[in-house]
Structure 1
Amino acid sequence: MNNAAPQDGLNGAARYCALVVLIVNVIMTSLDGTIMNMALPSVMKAMNATAASSVWIISAYQLAALTLLLPAAGAGDRIGLRKVYLLGVAGFTIASAICGIAPNLGVLILGRSIQGASAAGIMSCSNALVKLTYPKRLFGVGVSINAAVIAAASASGPSIAAAIMSVATWHWLFIINLPAGVFVVIMGSKFLPRNRMDVRREPVKITDVLLNMATFGLILVALQSFGQGASAVKEQIPANVALAMLVSGLIVGIVYWRRQLGLSMPLLPIDLLRIPIFRLSMCTSVTSFVSQTAAFVALPFLFLGIWGYSPARAGLLMACWPVTVVVVAPIVGRLIGRVPGGLLGGIGLAILAVGLALLATLPEHPDAIAIAWRMSLCGMGFGIFQSPNNHTIMTSGPAYRNGAAGGMLGTARLTGQTLGAAMLMLIFSVLPVNTGRGPVVALDLSAGMAAVAGIFSSLRLRYAPRTDADIASTHQYFEDVEPPTSGNACRIDS
């Protein structure tokens, strides 16, 4: 079936079939993250694993995903977004089967590593495929639906994990991915759009892939080691070794950056970072996810240790945040294209900052209503910000760099989440947790990071394109740097 995406998206039934495929996969991959966090204590107990070693069930996934996001995005721009996406789904499904039958911790960590590597292919191409599926006038709606589905899956993840584990072992948390993965591969091969690439393909060099993996891998492991050393988890890497890894990662990163400067399609998208609105959107995304992650990890300590709520009631109140995102995201999607993304992001992040600050001011035994409306306020702010920001990132560059833009979007999210978790653990290392002081300070800093993200977002108003001519002038940079060459034009991927 020929699903080569026209210049303005797919039409009719083809669009809805592609949308179903994308939504099913978003649900599968989003649930996997929240379910695994919920199931970690049970897996530790079943495998007689220590807390330090079990952390790698989560870390292996994050490490593989973060180090391979940009290479996967580069492959999507060169050999086809749909092809890389479906390979990622197939790999994720196979890895889920490996995790589901894992006899020991080592095999489970291996399966999680393969899941993370496969997720890199999915995350790097997902938003670009959404962009190819929708016409330009509806792309904002498509982005908002994607955000709403992710939020809904995140909110329902703990409940689904609890329901499965009440009737089956933890293995079934992975096995349930198999039918969804098979469905996506079969239906996606028929209905997902293909991307046209009309410029010469510059091959990805293995040296750049290795430098990318070394840069993000060394920095991620170092930051996680600092966090583990600051928390109750016994650190596995001495502090001086972790510091050396961090410095080495930064040095390798500088070498990697310099190698990319002269390339027309760099693996690290320096060409996109030269666009001011893209650069500011990336800063907005990283700082906002630092804020969200630190808050999400700090709040359970307050719910369970200070405010005196049961795990069930705490889970319901925590769900107020993502549930509000589900409600707000489609409404905001209708505003994208009518209201500048920088303005929507600035307003949303200001609301998020206020909500987090208000949570930090709650007394020792707050009532549920006081918590619920503050959590909902945070969700409203995050929902107003997220979709317009993702839309700006995906539309700031030319179409043939959609994969790179999607890769940077995923990289920003994972980087922010890693920094947020490390920041929280460092706070907990110097401030007491059992008195509530540490979590409250973490919420205050989260509010501050949300405010900084709002400033980055508002600065985008200087560069927001207002007419088609403005957009054309932005993309003209790329045409001047690397004009299309018909002799090396890329065919549609099959």
Structure 2
Amino acid sequence: MATPRPPAPADARTKRLTLLACVLASTIVMIDGSVVGVALPEIRDDLGGGLAGQQWVTNGYLLTLGSLLLVAGSIGDVLGARRVFLFGVVGFGVTSVLCAFAPTIEVLVLGRALQGASGAALTPAALAVIVSVFDADERNRAIGTWTAWSGIGAAIGPVLGGWLVDVASWHWVFLINVPLVVGTVVLVARVIPADRTRDRTRHVDVPGALLCAAGLGGLTFGLIRQPLGGWGAPDVALPLAVGAVLLVLFVVHEDRSPDSMLPLGLFRRRNFVVGNVETLVMYGGLSLLTFYLVIFLQQVAGWDALEAGAALVPVTAVMLVLAGRFGALADRHGPRLFMGLGPLIAGAGLLLLLRLDADVSYVADLLPAVALFALGLSMTVAPLTATVLADAEARNAGAASGVNNAVARVAGLVAVAVVGIAVSASFGSAVDDRLDGTTLGPTASRAADALRDGPFSRPELDGTSAAEAAALRSAAGEAGVSAFRLGMGIAGGLLIAGGLIGAAGIRNPRRVVLAADCAGGQVVGQPGDVGNAEAVPTSAAATGTTPT
């Protein structure tokens, strides 16, 4: 039986290049999560498939990414984070080429599903690599830098995708990944330290992996389908129910398995549990912002796709500058302050969006809210992630990261599905209120019915009179503003709730005071550790003793 060999401490150059490799890999995943949306119309024209095909080009990726994150994180703990990271990066490159040259919509959907699986492998593995390479006192800052730079991918995705589609074709939306993959593979091979010798007493929990993947897959599939079919549809209710049952069986299995892929002891640790609850609430609010803001700006405010896609770019810029700095401050002062105050500030930024109406000025109306939100998010992301990981042993870092990633992904799907019900109802009710007392002909009545069923949609005005068209436009605009404000109010409330959870639940790690360094005790005055004193105590200096 091989004894695990601890890795040698990494030098500064190795740490910098390791962080660069993790940033590049995560950027690829973030870009692919947002870049494809702008290419869907051209993909439909080229490959066909209709609306269902467009949806599954996106949803196939989300399905495998969300359902395999925890499994991949656990496999990384057993086989080594570097191995799984490299596998995920290479897999993402190969599947990107498959997507770029897909001859049919079915092959493209398959390629996207395989891309999601590769993304699930490399995302928690990247975080586990950072944890293994960086010392504890450097980890928060490194995670903050990784998060901020990786966020650039999400921000530039729609802008880059729109440009590539305009100047070339949709194929280049996937081919742009290839040089990033090659650069990442070179860095991994040259600088990331080899995994420690594998602990032969640990094995991949195959039954647990199957139960976990199928359970999360059922939940993810049901939540993806919910906006189209409603909660009572068979293809929504059945996958949700089966997924929930399988996850219960997964927990039962993990409690009994000698090779548990998810150490249930993690859920007895306060910071781990509170951090994941805060993640659930916060990322739900974040997903509502990114989902509804772009729709509102295009469908109600009349912005084009490029303008709407660039609206949140300042968030990435602020995080790039500040996230690492706040991570370093959290290392020094503890995470509780930042995990409590940050979401409150971010939530206040979202509540500023309640001022928006159909005529949106970016500088006067949107930018102040986005900047305040970005500041709060920058305060929170690195301390939150590091706190969750700090409550797990290094050998379980991949599983802890997988749990946190899965919670964040599921939070977005749940928030959009559940809040979508309230937003849709608000939109339909507002349309009725605005049209109350307005006389509409048969064509306009059908347009009004279609408008009620399509939140944020634009009314079909062909065959309507000028007065009817004006009434329908006004109703659609006012209902869109009302529904958007409801969504942002809920999103802001979720972020504020996350801040309260963090402030009340997180405990700063206790300081480690070494008894061996306090041999003189109070006999020689007082230990130098008191008050984090760095100067030599006067009494110690006077007696010639070594400061403690």
TM-score, normalising length: structure 2: 0.79
Q: Secondary structure at the match of 2:169?
A: coil
- Whether the 8 Å contact between 2:205 and 2:260 is mirrored in structure 1 is no
1:388-434 Cα deviation digits (max 9, x unpaired): 10111121111111111121122122111211221343234322133
Q: State whether residues 280 and 459 of structure 1, in contact with CA within 8 Å, keep that contact through their aligned partners in structure 2.
A: no
State the match for 1:39 in structure 2. Answer: 39
Q: Secondary structure at the match of 1:336?
A: helix
What pairs with 1:249-260 in structure 2 (closer than 5 Å)?
Answer: 249-260=243-254
Task: Name the counterpart of 1:380.
Answer: 375
Change (3 A) 1:85 1:107: same
Matched, 1:309 2:303: yes
**In the TM superposition, what is the alpha-carbon distance from 1:458 to its structure 2 partner?**
1.4
- Residue pair 2:285, 2:495 contacting (<8 A) in 1 also: yes
Q: Which residue is 1:102 aligned to?
A: 102
Give the equivalent residue in structure 1 for 2:490. 445
Which segment drifts farther, 243-252 or 188-197?
A: 188-197
- Structure 2, unpaired ranges of 5+: 428-454, 456-475, 515-548
Query: Is 1:131 matched with 2:122?
Result: no
Q: What are the residue-to-residue correspondences of 1:98-247 with 2, within 5 Å?
A: 98-196=98-196, 201-229=201-229, 239-247=233-241
Is the CA contact (8 Å cut-off) linking 1:81 and 1:128 kept in structure 2? yes
Counterpart of 2:399, as a letter, is A
Post-superposition CA distance 1:97-145 (Å, at most 9, x none): 1001001110001111111111111012111111222222211111111
1:76 touches 1:125 (CA, 8 Å); kept in 2?
yes
Q: Which residue does 1:481 correspond to in 2? A: none
Inter-CA distance 202–469: structure 2 relative to 1 (3 Å threshold):
farther
Matching residue within 321, 327, 340 for 1:346: 340
Q: Secondary structure at the match of 2:188?
A: helix
- Answer whether contact 2:79 2:198 (CA < 8 A) is retained: no
Residue 93 of structure 2 corresponds to 93
Q: Structure 2 CA distance, aligned partners of 1:92 and 1:314?
A: 28
Q: Deviations over 1:319-376 (max 9, x none)?
A: 2333222232122122121122122011110011111111023244242222111111
CA–CA separation in structure 1 for the residues paired with 2:402 and 2:156: 26
Q: Which residue of 2 aligns with 1:486?
A: none
Q: Distance in 2 between matches of 1:314 and 1:89?
A: 30
Q: Do residues 465 (structure 1) and 509 (structure 2) align?
A: yes
Structure possessing the higher radius of gyration over alpha carbons: 2
Amino acid at match of 1:400: R
Which shows bigger deviation, 195-204 or 379-388? 195-204
Tell me which amino acid in the other structure corresponds to 2:381.
Q
Going from structure 1 to structure 2, the CA distance change for 1:375 and 1:62 (only over 3 Å counts) comes to same
Alpha carbons of structure 1 residues 469 and 113: separation in structure 2 relative to 1, 3 Å = farther
2:132·2:394 contact (CA, 8 Å) conserved in 1? no
CA separation of 1:428/1:51 partners in 2, compared to 1, >3 Å: closer, same or farther? farther
Contact 1:265/1:271 (CA < 8 Å) preserved in 2? no
What whole-Å deviation, never above 9, does each CA across 1:57-101 have from its counterpart, x for those lacking one?
A: 111111112222222112111111101111111111110110010
Deviates more, 1:71-80 or 1:200-209: 200-209
Q: Does 1:330 align with 2:330?
A: no
Superposed CA deviations along residues 14-54 of structure 1, whole A, max 9, x for unmatched, are: 22232222222222222121211222232223222222232
Residue type at the aligned position of 2:118: S
Cα contact 2:26–2:150 (8 A) shared by 1: yes
Residues 84 and 121, structure 2, Cα contact 8 Å, conserved in 1: yes
The amino acid of 1:291's aligned partner reads G
Q: Given that residues 19 and 146 in structure 2 are in contact (C-alpha distance below 8 angstroms), is that contact kept between their aligned partners in structure 1?
A: no
Q: Counterpart of 2:488 in structure 1: which amino acid?
A: L
Deviations 1:226-277 (A, max 9, x none): 12235xxxxxx97134212212211221111111113465223422122110
- Indicate which of 389, 401, 404 corresponds to 2:396: 401
Q: Does 1:411 align with 2:406?
A: yes
Aligned to 1:490: none
CA distance in 2, matches of 1:180, 1:321: 23
What is the letter of the counterpart of residue 407 of structure 1? G
How far apart, in 1, do the equivalents of 2:63 and 2:202 lie?
Answer: 26
> In structure 2, how many angstroms separate the alpha carbons of the residues matched to 1:339 and 1:200?
39
1:334 match: secondary structure: helix
Structure 2 contact 24–150 (Cα < 8 Å) conserved: no
Task: Point out the more displaced range, 14-23 or 98-107.
Answer: 14-23
**Mapped partners of 1:13, 1:271: distance in 2:** 36
CA contact (8 A) 2:225 2:235 kept: no
Separation (CA, whole Å) in 2 of partners of 1:168 and 1:366: 32
Instruction: For residue 171 of structure 1, report the CA deviation from its aligned partner.
Output: 0.6
1:268: which partner in 2?
A: 262
CA distance in structure 1 between the partners assigned to 2:348 and 2:213 by the alignment: 37
Deviation at residue 200 of structure 1 after TM alignment: 5.9
Distance 2:163 2:301 in 1: 26
Native 8 Å contact 1:73 1:404 kept in 2: yes
For 1:180 and 1:190, the matched residues in 2 are separated by 16
Q: Is the 8 A contact 2:78 2:199 kept in 1?
A: no
Structure 1 partner of 2:366: 371
State the partner residue of 1:83: 83
1 CA distance for matches of 2:513 and 2:218? 43
Taking only aligned residues, the RMSD between alpha carbons, in angstroms, comes to 2.2
Q: Give 3-state SS (helix, strand or coil) of 1:10's partner.
A: coil
- For 1:245, the aligned partner's letter is P
Task: Look up the SS of the partner of 2:256 in the other structure.
Answer: coil
Distance 1:152 1:18, change over 3 A: same
Q: Distance in 1 between matches of 2:293 and 2:47?
A: 28
Q: Relative to structure 1, is the Cα distance of residues 197 and 378 closer, same or farther in structure 2, using a 3 angstrom cutoff?
A: farther
- Aligned partner of 2:417 among 414, 419, 422: 422
2-structure distance, mates of 1:460, 1:195: 35
Higher relative contact order (CA 8 A, sep 6+): 1
Partner of 2:14: 14
Q: Secondary structure of the equivalent of 2:377?
A: helix
Q: Is the 8 A contact 1:102 1:108 kept in 2?
A: yes
Is contact 1:260-1:267 (8 Å) kept?
yes
- On the 8 A contact 1:19/1:133 being kept in 2, the answer is no
